[in-house]
């Protein structure tokens, strides 16, 4: 493991620990809206639509499965795993 990879893992672990303090819902169970995706990717809500078109981006789910209305939500762990796999390719 390179020094950069070790540092990235340490930052990810710290981020997870701090995030769990602020939110009582475990990270593996968190659901994110488009606004939370925009915050995670540090972009506008409109830019999230372009990110969602990328290959392999996790499928969004409806808040109310019995209706076509309402915004989509995504599992936080799926979005972070996708971002790790696609946004940090070749980064050393």
pTM of the predicted model over 0.75 = no
Query: Residue 70: inside a domain, yes or no?
Result: yes
Query: Residue 18: inside a domain, yes or no?
Result: no
Domain count, the chain: 1
Tell me: the pLDDT tens digits for 5-61? 888 888 888 887 777 676 677 888 889 999 999 999 999 999 999 999 999 999 998
Which helix (H) or strand (E) segment holds residue 16: the answer is helix 3-22
Contact of 43 with 55, CB cutoff 8 Å: no
Structure-token match 């989509």, residue found: 72
CATH label of the domain that carries residue 69: 1.10.10
Contact of 72 with 34, CB cutoff 8 Å: yes
Domain with 55 in it: 27-87
């Amino acid at each position: 493991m390179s020094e950069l990879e070790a540092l990235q893992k340490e930052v990810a672990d710290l981020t997870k620990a701090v995030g769990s303090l602020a939110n009582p819902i475990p990270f593996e169970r968190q659901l994110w809206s488009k606004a939370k995706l925009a915050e995670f990717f540090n972009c506008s809500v409109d830019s999230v639509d372009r990110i969602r078109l990328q290959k392999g981006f996790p499928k969004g789910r409806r808040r109310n499965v019995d209706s076509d209305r309402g915004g989509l939500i995504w599992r936080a762990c799926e979005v972070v795993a996708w971002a790790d796999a696609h946004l940090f390719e070749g980064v050393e």
